[in-house]
Chains A and B, each alone.
Chain A
Amino acid sequence: MGAYPASVRRYSGVWACAGVVALGACSQTPTPPAAKLFTLFDVQALYAGGALESEAIAADDGLPGGILLNLILNPPASDGSLTLAPRSAWSDNQLVAFLTTEVWVNYPQVWMQPVYVPVTHASAGGPLQFLGGVSQPAPIFSVGPASAFYSPFLQIVYAEVPADTAPDALTSSRQILDGGYPLTPGGGRTMPLVPDKAALPATVALPATVALPSDVSPPATGYLDGAVVSFLDFGPSTFTWDPNTNVVQEAAIYVLTFIGPDGTVLASPDIPTVLGAGPSGSGVALPGGLQRDSAYYRVHTVVMPPTARLFVQPGSTLEMELPGDLLPFTGFAPGASELQIAKFSGRVALDGACFSDPTLLDPTSTSSNRCIWLGSEAALQTNLDLSTEETTTITVTWEVTDLLTPNADGSVTAVPGPVAPPEPL
């Protein structure tokens, strides 16, 4: 407060404002929100600065509670190593595991950036191969994670270099562009840069603990402005883009919320979200013929009707993790089989009354009282009044890594999605 009482300070503020009125100051122009990008490096820095895993980013941007840090990265181990945090979601009624590597706030759009891969002819007229004859090239990134325009969505650009080029001679995009090499644009790949000590998770915990034999390779190394950087490769066909603008096309994810007795919007990251269908061409066939999911999503929230209930087995990990005010919105079908429990835990039924009989859990039941599960974008669109939907200003990179397939004994098996390695053209 300084030496002046509050009233004097207020007046001084008025005079200060009056003094600059002539300069056009003290206007009442509304301030637009700032765009923010959170990468794994930012989350790592927040932890290093003393942030707790229960702290959230994007807390005031339309998603109740924001995105907790431990939903992106687990707290660092004593040796500084980091593990990405896996989560689960519903994709066309199929539970999948995914990772979060970037969060954008107030970005109307994000852009694909180029990444250069040197290739060469090992012999005159022979096929192209990666420089040095390696099977896994060291790509050359063009934009670093500190930039507001950093993107994990990359277009492979093959640079055909002379065969006698040393494998480590090209380490920057300027070298590629100045070299005048023939450049051939290739496909898109989701390849986020990651901190050096980042590792992939071994298990996903909810709704049940499942080992993750993901096919995503451990962090590999490439180059950025001459420096070695680490990255993850989630493979091709995980996004599409506007060829005229390089804007990455977004899909929707739906965070399911409930309205409490006092009107409060209740949400929990422990309730698996529902992934929308990606733009046409952004998926590849998974085992079983399913379409692979997009990696770029905008977060939407959808209020569940008062009758909706979350299927939760009493005493399960999921029940213990849920906030207490959400427990009234859970339900269970006594007598449900282990397979049913594994299959439906964490899924929301349109009307919890169907939990009265385990046979009604089966969505193929002929009973008119069967459960209508809200585990797909189509089910949400068909069964809900989506006027309650809220589109947030949050977009995320969610890389789906595994299908989580329930077994008859109640266990869950993770089936990794295919990650085709890069090909030298």
Chain B
Amino acid sequence: MKSVAVAVAAVVLFCGARASAQPVPPATAAPEPEPEPEPINDSEGYTPAVEGAGAPSPLSIDGYIDVGFAKAQGDGTSFAPNDQSIPADYGVDTFAPAVNSRGDVASTNSNGRFVNGFLPRSAGIGGNASFLLNTLDLDLKYAPASAPLMVFSRVQFLPRFTGSGDDTRVYVEQAFGRLVPFDSQELAISAGKFDSVFGIEYLDNEANIRTGVTPSLVARYTTGQSIGAKLFYRLQIQPLQSAVSLNASATNSGNFVESLQPPDASLTGEPVGAGRLGYELNTPGIQAKLGASGLIGPRNDQAFQAAHQKAYGFDLRVAVAGVYLNAEYVHVDEGEGGPKTTSLGNFPISSTFNARGGYVQLAYALPLSVGALHKLTVYGRYDRRHAWFEGFTPITVDRFTGGVRIDLWEAIILKAEYLDNRELAGAPTVANNVFTSSLVYSW
């Protein structure tokens, strides 16, 4: 595996093209990081342009292409070959062998064993080394100068091998309008399909933004988009170089990823509320952000309003001298409901489920000006997740992720990382470590 990783990293490195970097963490020539912009929707990927003289056209077309190369151990799943217990996805972590920023795994093929919908999307490569076109992303943004309005859409093309042929899914990940009614206030109201408001990892959803390649083991609970309405308000406290913010939403499905809870319709007729209360410190030398998030409402993978899901979490981001620390803890409880429906299909039962987990990520970004090389980032992350379905053995898994990221010019990012997945308790030990890499072109 190691030799494959090195070889692929080298190939990817030498295949680099020209373009410019997407700075996350921000790439600057100065040793001290610039104050990280905090857009109203809390994500750099779709920040509206500033209006006024010299402002670009109100319509902009952005996007990226994420080309991957990945190799997972075993058959690309977390299913133990000799385990025949049912459902196959209840006693293991099917999300562990992730290969891209979307959290798609190498495989979810259970070889005929019944599964009950606790599954990620699959890249369909099994245990084979394979190139992937992870995402072709197309962003349209319209921000007229005449109105405090921004309209944004993000459509993604996702070519995948399904086991019975190729299939390209067209996915509307975001589509919303955002109104900023008062010039004097950082208040924004959005309606449509938009990013999560829970925690901080959703900020890294897109491959052209994420420091590494793969999401954490708890991203499945916090990074999903959904349809509804959102309110953001931030109050600057200049004397303290601080700000407090509130980001709250009412949506169909809350913040679970779409493979677990479909966002495009409310299955219960009752919205899911979510929010984050944040504090940030912005000084020339250090940036620190703290947040507490919560989610409550009916689980949207079934139809009973009484089947509730509740979650809370805490997050921390610190940036100082090129070092970036991100950490998050998530606590999730779901009650038992009716027959389950996810974006992957229909399943008979939505079981009582509980999860606790989090991650700590440390990254160091070294700004460079060597030809095309703008920045070199090394990073490591530790994830841990403890979860159980009612009546099933609780499982505890963790993961060490280490990787390197190279920013070339302004529009090419090369990333390569290794995921060391471990089953600590409950789940059978399986070979499901992953080497994966990503070449991201942005425009």
Q: Using CB atoms and an 8 Å cutoff, list the residues of chain A in contact with chain B.
A: 20, 22-27, 29, 31-35, 106-109, 111-114, 142-151, 155, 157, 172-174, 177-178, 183, 185, 225, 244-247
Contact = CB atoms under 8 A, between A and B. Distances in A.
Given A35-B339, A174-B428, A29 B269 contact: yes
B426 A23 contact: no
Contacts of A27: 265-266, 269
A58 to B, nearest CB: 16
30 contacts: A20-B270, A22-B191, A23-B250, A24-B227, A24-B228, A26-B269, A27-B266, A32-B303, A32-B339, A33-B338, A33-B339, A34-B304, A34-B339, A111-B114, A113-B84, A113-B85, A143-B391, A147-B90, A147-B392, A149-B90, A149-B349, A173-B428, A174-B428, A177-B82, A177-B83, A177-B429, A178-B428, A185-B84, A246-B113, A247-B114
B265 A24 contact: yes
B175 interface: no
A32 B250 CA distance: 24
Given A23-B252, A150-B391, A113 B86 contact: yes
Given A23-B251, A34-B304, A244-B112, A148 B269 contact: no
Contacts of A24: 227-228, 252, 265-266
A160 to B, nearest CB: 12
B269 A174 contact: no
A239 to B, nearest CB: 15
B392 A143 contact: yes
Contacts of A151: 86
B439 interface: no
A188 to B, nearest CB: 12
Contacts of A108: 348
A149 B86 contact: yes
B344 interface: no
A109 to B, nearest CB: 8
A142 B82 CA distance: 13
B390 A32 contact: no
Contacts of B228: 23-24
Given A34-B304, A149-B90, A23 B271 contact: yes
A398 to B, nearest CB: 22
B150 to A, nearest CB: 19
B427 A246 contact: no
Contacts of B252: 23-24
Contacts of A150: 391
B136 interface: no
Contacts of B90: 147, 149
B211 interface: no
A174 B426 contact: yes
Classify chain B's interface size. Answer: 35 or more
Interface string B76-112: 0000101111110011000000000000000000001
Given A29-B269, A149-B86, A177-B82, A23 B304 contact: no
Contacts of B425: 174
A48 to B, nearest CB: 19
A155 B228 CA distance: 47
Contact of B227 (A23, A157, A172, A174): A23
Contacts of A109: 348
A177 B428 CA distance: 6
A311 to B, nearest CB: 41
Which one of A31, A113, A245 has the greatest number of beta carbons of chain B within 10 Å?
A: A31
- Chain A interface main SS type: loop
A144 B266 CA distance: 32
Contact of A29 (B87, B112, B251, B267): B267
A44 to B, nearest CB: 16
Contact of B393 (A31, A34, A107, A225): A225
Interface in B182-204: 191
A161 to B, nearest CB: 14
A146 B86 contact: no
Nearest to A173: B85
Given A26-B269, A245-B112, A146 B303 contact: no
B336 interface: yes
B86 to A, nearest CB: 4
A246 B84 contact: yes
A108 B311 CA distance: 31
Given A31-B304, A244-B112, A245-B114, 11 more contacts: A23-B251, A111-B86, A111-B114, A113-B85, A149-B86, A150-B391, A173-B85, A174-B393, A174-B428, A177-B429, A246-B113
Which one of A24, A109, A178, A244 has the greatest number of beta carbons of chain B within 10 Å?
A: A24
B116 interface: yes
Nearest to A35: B349
Contact of B82 (A32, A147, A155, A183): A183
Contact of A246 (B114, B271, B338): B114
Nearest to A145: B391
Pairs of residues from A and B, 7 with the lowest C-beta to C-beta distance, nearest first? A147-B391, A146-B391, A177-B428, A34-B338, A111-B86, A31-B303, A142-B85
Nearest to A107: B348
Contact of B351 (A112, A142, A148, A225): A148
A144 B114 CA distance: 17
A31 B83 contact: no
B382 interface: no
A31 B86 CA distance: 26
A242 to B, nearest CB: 10
B16 to A, nearest CB: 42
A86 B428 CA distance: 40
Given A23-B271, A111-B114, A147-B391, A35 B348 contact: yes
